[in-house]
Amino acid sequence: MANAKLYVGNLSYNSTEESLASLFSQFGEVVSARIVTDRETGRSKGFGFVEMASPEAAQQSIAQLNGQQVDGRQLTVNEARPQEPRQGGRGFGGGGRGYGGGGGGRY
């Protein structure tokens, strides 16, 4: 595992970036912890990313935390994959939905 960035899924909506960093710090130095939030509401989307200082610490975090119950939810912890470019698909999908919605209103 060359990457020390982890995906953390199924987080409690009450989780904070501080509590996430604290949880992972028992396995090594945490470089960053980020919970992804909805752009419009600011509410947690229930997942985030933690970057560990070393691949070894990241691997140990996966081994110890994946599948564990935290705040009543079973965490999913695995190596983060690079985000794939979605601009073309998103624009097309958005246009399609807008067109479909407009067409539905006419009938």
Comparing CA positions, the residue from 45, 46, 22 lying closest to residue 33 is 22
CA distances from 39 to 23, 36, 44, 45, 55 (A): 25, 9, 10, 10, 30
Q: Which domains does the chain have, with CATH numbers?
A: 5-106 (3.30.70.330)
**Tokens describing residue 76:** 């999913």
* Residues of the chain with confidence (pLDDT) below 70: 1-2, 86-107
pLDDT, one tens digit per residue, over 20-33 is 999 999 999 999 99
The type of residue at 44 is S
Please give the pLDDT value at position 88: 52
Q: Are 10 and 75 in contact (CB under 8 A)?
A: yes
Q: How many residues does the chain have?
A: 107
pTM for the whole thing? 0.76
Q: Are 3 and 82 in contact (CB under 8 A)?
A: no
Please give the pLDDT value at position 87: 62
